Structure 1
Amino acid sequence: MANLSSRFAPVLLVIGCIIFGLGSLIVAHVELGGWAMSFWRLAISGIVFAVLAKVMGQRLPRSRRAIVYSLLSGVFLGLDLALWHESIYAVGPGISTLLNSLQIFFLAAIGFLYFNERQSILQLISLFLAMFGVAMIGSPEFSHNSAATWGFITGIISGAMLAASMTFIRKTHDTEPTPIFMLMQLISIGGVLAMIVPMFLFDQGNVLPNTWSEVGWILIYGTVMQCLAWGLIAYSIPKLSLALTGLLLLTEPIAALVIDYSLLDKPINTLQWSGALLTMLAIYLGSIKSRPTTLRNYRFFARFYKRKDQ
């Protein structure tokens, strides 16, 4: 049975990443503010995880510090999603998702500064390649898109916020191992609370969906993208080699770029495609040599799914 699940793990991981990529299409389609979309995604997923935690009999961690760390992880996840949404509106799902994937380098920096983890020469080379790739993507975008500056700033910062969120997941786990559904419920609560004020401050008039169709898309966004897609990714990661995992995770920005180009008619020229490929190569090189600071954070989720599977 274990061999069978390992055999299908690459397929499940790719499916999860593609579903994540499709989530950016929903964000581009629904006319809500970026902060409001973050609020509703986390609110809906929080309800789902609360029900699952109740059904599975999972309880709050005893450590107050673990609870605080979980809530803080949610705060940074909410900021990550909101800024990623803003980047999608400015430069499209493809480029914004690629910029968000740069979180791997922020994780490496956090590992170096706070966890005394050394960086390899290959990691430094990958960082240089990523910077060069982003420059190749951005140069044509800035020439015809007045919102490009905002899109690149929010996209890159969203990656930093995601790295911070994952770091607090690590700190939560180090303080007291917390069941996955309860952990995700606490993360959702932290994110929802953090989004209330900026949502009404920055998204005035775009807080609520305008049609029942938008309500449906938001429900799909909160359940399928936040719960199902992440569940597939977390379930698959511990069953694969580190190198293969890093490579397959790149299907998320690839899927977003293809969706952006083919379905949303985003103009992406040869220089930008080359820059995207170079950036994804850099992300891959960084991932296979940065186990302590990147994929290990994903594995915090995965361990709980693995226990549940056993």
Structure 2
Amino acid sequence: MSDVSTATPAGVGSEVPMRAAVMQMAIGATLLSSTSLFVVYAHTAPTVSGFYRMLFGGSMLLVWVALRGVWRRFSWRDLAWAVLPAIGLAVDLIQWHRSILWIGPGIATLLTNFQVFLMALVGFAFYRERPGRGFVPGMLLATVGLWLLVGAHWSIFDAQHRLGVWLGLGSGVAYTVYLLSFRQALKTHTRLSPAQFLGLMSLLCAVVLWLWGWGEGDSFALHGIQSWSVLLALGFIGQVLAWLLMVSAMPRLPASLVGLLLLLQPTLAFVLDVILLGRPTSLGDWTGLVLALAGILFGALQPRRRVSQA
């Protein structure tokens, strides 16, 4: 990702595109923060909501690609390289949606964002990417924040709530698999555009989720306008609109600013959880949230040399 501050000349001409990119990134992250609430309001089984998010979102993406006239024919190679990210994302949604329903959208979304640290460790182990100086202190800060949010109350949680915490962390592991395999496929293994490959991968993910739900005995029949409208919005906002806004903005912003704006997602998810769903929140919870977010931000920051080369 290029650093806009060095790629464009200073002055009004560079500030306007920068402001537009910041606005796009902020809107995209804000839209993403609402997707966890849709899972609650859909009134369906967690796997079912994930299935329809992928089915509706993937279909909309492919229609959008076709309407733009940039459609490429799928090959067996494209399908093969979409399988692993599809499985990774399916496992992520299976865990994350349960975590949302059992411990609330705010904490569940925050736990998933701990994938930042796992991504850095994988990058160091397999790609020799040196973590930034803020990685270790960031991980310590995030751990302290997480303890304030869930560890301090662990003894009073019931078994389902405790499992929801572990599933939230597990969804971050699965999300890491999805991100790494998706990135690798786009870099070297497919000629499809990112939007078309994401649409293909989303539909394969829907198949995996359908098989999982079928094995659990879930019903995929939707009853009532609320379920249909919420799940259509989930697919459009979470899988199409937010993604298109963020992907178009990311190359025009410094990586540090991207990381900061992405933190709008867990922050707003937590705030919406408190306001709309009445989550009981103490001063210790707010302190834990701030520390966890600060730790995630520090862990996401990269050395300037790596940012300019990416």
TM-score, structure 2 normalization: 0.87
Paired residue total: 294
Amino acid at match of 1:188: S
CA contact (8 A) 2:42 2:226 kept: no
Q: Partners in 1 of 2:198 and 2:222 — Cα distance?
A: 25
Pick aligned residue for 1:183 from 190, 197, 212 = 197
Show the 5 A alignment for 1:32-43. 32-43=44-55
CA offsets, 1:49-104, max 9 Å, x none? 22123222321466x54542223212211221221111100110100111111111
Q: Which residue of 2 aligns with 1:196?
A: 210
Deviation, 1:20, is: 0.9
CA offsets, 1:166-222, max 9 Å, x none? 1012211232443122211221122112112211233634x3322122111111111
Q: Which moved more, 1:3-12 or 1:179-188?
A: 3-12
CA offsets, 1:239-295, max 9 Å, x none? 1111111111111111001100011000121111111110100111011127899x9
Q: Partners in 2 of 1:291 and 1:195 — Cα distance?
A: 39
Q: Which residue of 1 aligns with 2:290?
A: 277
Q: Which residue of 2 aligns with 1:83?
A: 95
CA offsets, 1:208-237, max 9 Å, x none? 322122111111111122100111111111
Amino acid at match of 1:155: G
Q: Partners in 1 of 2:304 and 2:119 — Cα distance?
A: 10
Q: Partners in 1 of 2:144 and 2:177 — Cα distance?
A: 24
Deviation, 1:155, is: 0.7
Q: Which moved more, 1:111-120 or 1:27-36?
A: 111-120
CA contact (8 A) 1:94 1:260 kept: yes
Q: Partners in 1 of 2:144 and 2:185 — Cα distance?
A: 35
Pick aligned residue for 2:161 from 120, 127, 148 = 148
Pick aligned residue for 1:112 from 113, 120, 124 = 124
Alignment partner of 1:71 is 2:80: no
CA offsets, 1:105-162, max 9 Å, x none? 1111221222222334421221122122111110354344422211111111111111
CA contact (8 A) 2:28 2:242 kept: yes
SS at match of 2:280: coil
SS at match of 1:263: helix
Q: Which moved more, 1:169-178 or 1:228-237?
A: 169-178
CA contact (8 A) 2:58 2:239 kept: no
Alignment partner of 1:30 is 2:42: yes
Indicate the structure whose relative CO is greater, using CA pairs within 8 Å and at least 6 residues apart.
2
Amino acid at match of 1:224: I
Q: Partners in 2 of 1:235 and 1:291 — Cα distance?
A: 21
Alignment partner of 1:165 is 2:178: yes
Show the 5 A alignment for 1:128-139. 128-139=140-151
Structure 1 residues 5 and 61: CA distance shift in structure 2, 3 A: farther
Q: Partners in 2 of 1:220 and 1:143 — Cα distance?
A: 37
SS at match of 2:243: helix
Q: Which residue of 1 aligns with 2:263?
A: 250
Q: Partners in 1 of 2:16 and 2:71 — Cα distance?
A: 28
Amino acid at match of 1:47: S
Structure 1 residues 128 and 177: CA distance shift in structure 2, 3 A: farther
Q: Which residue of 1 aligns with 2:18?
A: 6
Q: Partners in 1 of 2:285 and 2:130 — Cα distance?
A: 32
CA contact (8 A) 1:142 1:148 kept: no
Q: Partners in 2 of 1:183 and 1:287 — Cα distance?
A: 26
Alignment partner of 1:262 is 2:275: yes
Larger Rg: 2
Q: Which residue of 2 aligns with 1:302?
A: none
Segments of structure 1 that go 5 or more residues without pairing to the other structure are: 300-310
Q: Which residue of 2 aligns with 1:208?
A: 221
Q: Which moved more, 1:254-263 or 1:267-276?
A: 267-276
Q: Which moved more, 1:127-136 or 1:176-185?
A: 176-185
Segments of structure 2 that go 5 or more residues without pairing to the other structure are: 1-12
Q: Partners in 2 of 1:70 and 1:38 — Cα distance?
A: 17
